[in-house]
Amino acid sequence: MGTWKPTACILCECNCGVEVELGGEDGRRLVRLRGDKRHPSSRGYACEKAHRLDFYQHGRDLLKRPLRRRADGTFEEIDWSTAIREVAERLARVRDTFGGESIFYYGGGGQGNHLPGAYGTGTRRALGSWFRSSALAQEKTGEFWVSDRVMGTATRADFEHCDVALFLGKNPWHSHSIPRARVTLKEIAKDPARTLIVVDPRRTETAELADIHLAVKPGTDAWLLSALLAVLLEEDLVDRAFLEAKVTGEAGVLEALRAVRIGEACSRAGVDAALVRKAARAIGRAKSLASFEDLGVQMNHHSTLVSYLHRVLIALTGSVGRPGTHYVPSPLVALAGGASRRKSPVAGATIVSGLVPCNVIAEEILTDHPKRYRAMIVEAANPAHSLADSKRMREALAALDTLVVIDVAMSETARLAHYVLPAATQFEKAEATFFNFDFPENYFHLRPRLFPPGEERLPEAEIHARLTEALGVVTEADYAPLRAAAREGLEAYAGVFLSTVLPDPRLSAQAPVLLYRTMDVPDDVREGAVVLGLCFRMAMESTQALARAGFAGAPMEAALALFRAIMTNPSGVVFAVGEWPEVLGRVKTADGKLHLDLPDMVAELRRLEGDPPPALDPSFPFVLSAGERRSFTANTIIRDPAWRKKDAAGALRISPADAARLGVGDGEPVRLTTKRGSLVVSVEISDSMQPGHVSLPNGLGTDYPADAGVEAVGVAPNELTAVEDRDPFVGTPWHKYVPARIEPLPATPR
């Protein structure tokens, strides 16, 4: 038997703690995995996907050495010093010719790795790069924008203790996003006193467990929610005390809701009005409501309005600040934010949480505009696959003066790069995620590396340190005093760091690199050095929560104790303990109340009455949801199609009625066509689908080196999507509502 080591699963945002038995000839195979009972959040839980993580560590297209593209499009291997020198020179030339703001940064982390983004700030500042984005700007920015205006902050909900659980366009059975999702869902489902409500056109695995499944017609959630809220008002199921004490500016939205014709709105949403009333009563009478909106509504028509109506529901039912309702998390790093004063340079798009909407990136490159992006650094992301309209995205990436990709594998984006820099995998370096949203106990998990990097891969921390050194912004002279202090111990080091680095703008801009280069820490957690800065901030801002978690004392003392705990607890640490009565105090509006007076959203709501539901062109009679989460999907984190134990082909799900009408049988190929593309895919006939709605998995159709050349299994959803199909306010894409046509094909003879 080999040794078991703690780490985390990196396949979804939960990052469950797992223990791995290492084996194989070189001790680098992830032979067996099990949930780690010591992990503060997952407590031994892990789903089926974690057991297949060896496919990530042993992909055939894992990068080995830096690559430089030749004129003919092929790649040659180069050594690290050449790679760093040339990348720094080329990016510096773009900066000096067109300004640093023409260098765009995309990514910074995926589902389990957020330290690259922290270290990447060093390189970005050295280059004067300001505009950036990530996948969050094609899903969560609408919710962030609305939440920020209503509450000055975002919320999460306590499903473990709720009376009623509501999922809007979310299938947590497969997509998780809440700790120990299946355990929690089953507990709610089996308790007759608790109610599970699912709003989803498909009878998903979560909907199967639900007490009430509101099977909306795709793209009509705004009507459904307006009807549900109107019932709450009509039947006086609102929390008046909460409204009076904690909510302001509600008059306009309440008036608009009172005008909603409930029967009409339900029929537009395709849902029985009696069932909507039943749901509204369950919600209105509940002691506590926990709710979660996700991609089914966030990547769909009226997405910002739905996010707003969701906040209205939370406000009307007083679902904040009590066990089983919403809370305001205290993450180590704040990912959610509001709109910037600045707009994107070419399209003038609203920037939320510092992120340019993903759907405008291509148009900010493919133009003669003097402020266009000329170079791009892509780190731990695969935009050539994951952004709308892959064809256009490929054109945009090809039009750049310089594209640098930092990845572990030869992704679709890496194939288009001028330079590909091979990063150590998430098991070859210390890593952590900033998706820390638990409450009352919040945790942080710095995973020590399982083994050193293979081949010539380097951790991103090292890559960015070398880049900033090559750019000349930090030198050995800057390191020397910190190194000397490090030899005296952590207290001395922290003292020198605070007194010399923070007051100096040049040095503080490079704080992550300085910490990484000079701190005295063991090799297996070296990349965790940057976390010291976060510990200081937490100790200043959340003194009480930290003290309850055992990190008491003056800020310096608490910060260092927390940092030591993080560096020495390989299964994670509870760093903050909140209390429910504090939650409303974390609402960041001037008067501490929830502000419902968002005139643009109320106007949208009023328009709904007159608006017809999104209509389909007769030549594209199906609604395609492009990118469903299934049992074996994980964005493009694992590229080997063999990892998928179920649904190996990544089939298009279609209702039995539609399949019969088209004359296609289970497993047979069809041609799937949208205004942007046409692909062949095999179908899975599923009675979970409503007629007129079809669904493709996400993350498939990636190229993978197989024995007989490169193969791609399933289809890449964004070959079919279009950039202009997006939310008018914040630009999030309508990936779950892609008008499509399906034509049967003769089955291929075997």
Ligand X SMILES: Nc1nc2c(c(=O)[nH]1)N[C@H]1C(S)=C(S)[C@@H](COP(=O)(O)OP(=O)(O)OC[C@H]3O[C@@H](n4cnc5c(=O)[nH]c(N)nc54)[C@H](O)[C@@H]3O)O[C@H]1N2
Residues that bind ligand SF4 (CB under 6 A): 9, 11-12, 14-16, 46-47, 49-50, 176
Least distance in angstroms from the C-beta of 247 to ligand SF4: 35
Residue 376 binding result from ligand X, ligand SF4, none, given CB thresholds of 5 to 8 Å by partner type: none
521 binds ligand X (CB under 6 A): no
Q: Concatenate the DSSP letters of all residues of 266-314 into one string.
A: HHHHT--HHHHHHHHHHHHH-S-EEEEE-HHHHTSTTHHHHHHHHHHHH
The CB-of-181 to ligand SF4 minimum distance in angstroms stands at 7
Of residues 319, 382, 542, 673, which one binds ligand X by CB under 6 A?
A: 382
Counting every residue written for the chain, the total comes to 750
296 near ligand X, rule: CB under 6 A:
yes
- Name residues contacting ligand X, limited to 408-427 (CB under 6 A): 408-409, 411, 423, 425-426
Find the part of the chain contacting ligand X (CB under 6 A) among 25-33, 291-299, 330-338, 435-443: 291-299
Helix, strand or coil, per DSSP, at residue 131: coil
First to last CA, the chain: 43
CB of 180 to ligand SF4, least distance (A): 8
Closest C-alpha among 65, 50, 67, 62 to residue 16: 50
Least distance to ligand X, CB of residue 320, Å: 22
DSSP state for residue 458 in the 8-state scheme: B
Judged by CB under 6 A, which of 133, 171, 226, 330 binds ligand X?
171
Assess contact for 235 and 227: CB atoms under 8 A.
no
Residues 421-460 close enough to bind ligand X by CB under 6 A: 423, 425-426, 460
Give the footprint of ligand X on residues 678-717 (CB under 6 A). 698-699, 717
Q: How far apart are CA 565 and CA 546, in angstroms?
A: 12
Residue number with CB closer to ligand X (102 or 134): 134
Between CA 111 and CA 88 the distance in angstroms is 28
Q: Are 559 and 541 in contact (CB under 8 A)?
A: no
Is the distance from CB of 472 to CB of 128 less than 8 angstroms?
no
Query: Does the protein bind ligand X through residue 156 (CB under 6 A)?
Result: no
CA 395 to chain centre: 25
Least separation, in Å, of the C-beta of 12 and ligand SF4? Answer: 3
**608 makes contact with ligand X (CB under 6 A):** no
The residue among 374 and 629 lying less far from ligand SF4, judged by its C-beta, is 629
Which residues, 116 to 155, sit near ligand X by CB under 6 A? Answer: 116, 135, 138-139
Q: Is 634 in the site for ligand X (CB under 6 A)?
A: yes
Please select the residue that binds ligand X; options are 42, 177, 542, 674, rule is CB under 6 A: 177
What count of other Cβ atoms lies within 10 Å of the Cβ of residue 99? 16
Q: Does 277 bind ligand X (CB under 6 A)?
A: no
Q: Which is it for strands 289-293 and 402-407: parallel, antiparallel or unpaired?
A: unpaired
Q: Is the Cβ of residue 50 or residue 738 nearer to ligand SF4 in the bound state?
A: 50
Contact 562, 569 (CB under 8 A): no
Half-sphere exposure for 176 (CA within 13 Å, toward CB): 25
Q: Beta partners for 710?
A: 705
Calculated CA dihedral for residues 45, 51, 56, 57, nearest 10 degrees: 100
User: In this complex, which beta carbon is closest to ligand X, that of residue 42 or of residue 171?
Assistant: 171
CA-to-CA distance for 356 and 346, rounded, in angstroms? 11
Residue 50 binds which entry of ligand SF4, ligand X, none, with Cβ cut-offs from 5 to 8 Å by kind? ligand SF4
Partner in contact with 16, chosen from ligand SF4, ligand X, none, beta carbon below 5 to 8 Å by kind:
ligand SF4
State whether residue 444 is helix, strand or coil. Answer: strand
Structure tokens at 736: 């779950």
Please choose which of ligand X, ligand SF4, none residue 736 contacts, taking the beta carbon within 5 to 8 angstroms, the exact cut-off set by kind: ligand X
The rounded distance, in Å, linking the Cα atoms of 204 and 658 is 18
The contact set with ligand X (CB under 6 A) reads 12-13, 110, 113, 116, 135, 138-139, 168-171, 174-177, 199-202, 204, 216, 218-219, 221, 294-297, 300, 379-383, 385-386, 406-409, 411, 423, 425-426, 460, 625-629, 633-637, 698-699, 717-718, 721, 735-736
